[in-house]
Amino acid sequence: MNLIPELESVLEELTRRFGAQLKWAPATQPNELHLHAKVELAGALCSAFHKIHNGRLVGVFAEDARTEHNAYFVYYLYVLDWAHGFVLVRVALPPDHPELPSVTNAVHGVDWQEREIQDMFGISLLGHPNPRRCVLHDDWPEVYPLRKDFNLRAQLPPFTGPRHKFREVEGEGVFQVPVGPVHAGIIEPGHFLFSVAGEPVLYLQLRLFYVHKGIEKLFESIPVAHCVRLAESISGDSSFAHATAFCHAVERAAGVQPPPRARALRTLCLELERLYNHVADIGAICTDVAFVTANMHAMRLKERALCLNELLTGNRLLRGMACLGGARLDFDPPQLRALAEFADEFEKEFVQLIGLIRNNSGLRDRLETTGVLTPEVARDLGVVGLAGRASGFDHDLRRDVPHAFYDQVQFTVPVFTEGDARRRLVVRRAEIFQSLGIIRQTIEKLPAGGIRVDLGDLPPDRAALGYVEGWRGEIFHWVHTAPGNRLARCKVKDPSLQNWPALAEAILGNIIPDFPVVNKSFNLSYSGTDR
């Protein structure tokens, strides 16, 4: 049995508890525990992982396996941070009448994920509190795009039928304010419907998935070597993180470890992606409370980071740097000196920006106690990443399940419990300083040697998980390989999918004019959610 000791103890306890109802399946990596169970056991396993093993249910997704196994498979992905590993539970559903007992009432954070299974595979949800369409909008006919027999290029007939209807909120002095789905600027569409009584927001309804791109289906239609560029397009400001998570998944499925130097280069790029996004968000938050001067300084720092990205990789957003088996480009001594000098200069100027922000009492007044997401609500919704860490979520895959070069560097994960817009800004500030430290340590310890290994022909019928702590939070890519260097399934989980529902909770009791800054303090990705 090729498992790390912590997961072996978990397997032993589950075997004692559930016996023959649970079957262990081999995995390609020792920090992944794969289990097969009957669908009736899903709820009990969920309870066991949460209450006994302190696990987090971070993903629920499906696969059409009717051709090979005459079933639909549904997977439950748990992270056991204390064990530095993952547990993937697979249940089988009959192909003629697939029904899935919902666990949303117990784990609210999987609401959208279960509804996505219903929309994309036609699997009915039993006991779900709100089983309405989520991913597929009303102008889609009754088709299930992630089934194997769905033609990606099919011309769909026009839809005729009832349209989506938002919930009505009634009462004296209560009215509704629609925002979107089309917004000013270049952001993608999302519909926000505010119900207000006077100024305070009573209720916010979100509707996303307006630009669903079918990326998970596209992964199945092209050779795996071409999929890296597709992964880069999932969310533009996290292009390197998504590409790295995808490469990580394929490499783990193939049983290949990138060279140490390649893992270090990936770490440098991940932290550079974190830097330019965090400093841009700090500036944008300042703009939303009319502190434009701070934003101008932040945008200048962002531009310096983007120029450095281009110097190192040839692309301002680090596209083209990630590849299967390692990194596409190496950094020569002059580039490494430029990176080290950038870290020193960036830190000096960033300290000045932070001083400017701290001296602005109006900014502090606008951000403090605005958009509060309490630790209890954040935990119930499974909020991750920087938004979670501002609300007491003490988890970071870089520390808890190290990937790339993170096991070779020292850093601190900033965590606060106030959960307001100011703490979400402060988390970004603290993470920038930690990123600069990681960059310096990685340069100092940068291994010599090659930057890429050849994966060869990808073995078929292998499943593995790739993961990255992106700048927003946890990114997961799960792949199931098929013959001919192709994929039978690729599941993508962006942190924004997990965190959007938290925005509807954080805005309650605030006024509509505060929504832009609360929204920006989360800064979630439409594209990463819609996929």
Alpha carbon distance 100, 90 (integer Å): 12
Give the model's confidence band at 176: pLDDT under 50 very low, under 70 low, under 90 confident, else very high. Answer: confident
Same domain, 431 and 359: yes
Per-residue pLDDT tens digits for 454-479:
988 899 999 999 999 999 999 999 99
Instruction: Identify the pLDDT of residue 434.
Output: 97
> H-helix or E-strand containing 331?
none
DSSP class of residue 98?
Answer: -
**Cβ–Cβ under 8 Å, residues 164 and 140:** no
Q: Taking Cα atoms as reference points, which of 245, 228, 77, 216 lies closest to residue 135?
A: 216
One domain for residues 49 and 105: yes
- Residue 158 reports pLDDT greater than 80: no
Judge whether residue 139 has pLDDT over 90.
no
Q: Name the pLDDT band for 1 (thresholds 50, 70, 90).
A: low
Tell me whether the omega of the peptide bond preceding residue 157 falls within 30 degrees of 0, making it cis.
Answer: no
324-350 mean pLDDT: 95
Residues 437 and 460 in one domain: yes
Return the pLDDT at 74.
95
Q: Are residues 289 and 341 in the same domain?
A: yes
Which residue carries 């193939």 as its tokens? 254
| Domain annotation covers residue 144 | no
168: in domain: no
**147, part of any domain:** no
Domain range holding 79? 5-126
Domain match, 181 and 317 both: no
Task: Tell me the C-alpha distance between 342 and 304, whole Å.
Answer: 8
pLDDT of residue 388: 95
Is the confidence at residue 56, as pLDDT, over 70? yes
- Show the DSSP H helices in 174-288 as ranges: 215-219, 227-232, 239-254, 260-288
**pLDDT tens across 375-395, in order?**
999 999 999 999 999 999 999
pLDDT in the model for residue 245 = 96
In terms of domains, do 181 and 265 share one? Answer: no
**Domain co-membership, 46 together with 76:** yes
Helix (H, G, I), strand (E, B) or coil at 453: coil
Q: What is the DSSP letter of 200?
A: B
Residue 408 lies in a domain: yes
Angle separating helix axes 515-522 and 421-445, nearest 10 degrees: 20
Does residue 132 lie within any of the structural domains? no
186 vs 339: which has the higher pLDDT = 339
Which amino acid, one-letter code, is at 334?
P
**CA-based radius of gyration for the chain:** 23
* Residue 150 belongs to a domain: no
The answer to the question of residue 133 being in a domain is no
Pair (201, 257) in one structural domain:
no
Half-sphere exposure for 135 (CA within 13 Å, toward CB): 28
Angle at 420 between CA 525 and CA 502, to 5 degrees: 45
Q: What is the residue whose two structure tokens read 């001594």?
A: 333
Is the same domain home to 358 and 234? yes
For the stretch 434-444, pLDDT in tens is 999 999 999 99
Average pLDDT over residues 232-254: 95
Q: 442-456: per-residue pLDDT in tens? A: 999 999 999 999 988
Structurally, the chain folds into a number of domains equal to: 3
Contact 214, 119 (CB under 8 A): no
Residue with tokens 């192909």: 95
CATH code for the domain in which residue 308 is found? 1.10.645.10
CATH of the domain at 33: 3.30.460.80
Average pLDDT, the chain: 92
Residues 6 or more apart from 359 whose CB is under 8 A from it? none
**Residue 55 shares a structural domain with residue 197:** no
The verdict on residue 181 lying in a domain is: yes
* Co-location of 293 and 203 in the same domain: no
Give the tens place of pLDDT for each residue, 492-527.
Answer: 999 999 999 999 999 999 998 899 899 999 999 999
Predicted confidence (pLDDT) at residue 362 exceeds the cutoff of 70: yes
Contact assessment for residue 338 and residue 439, using Cβ atoms and an 8 Å cutoff: no
Listed residue (78, 24, 5, 103) closest to 467, CA to CA: 78
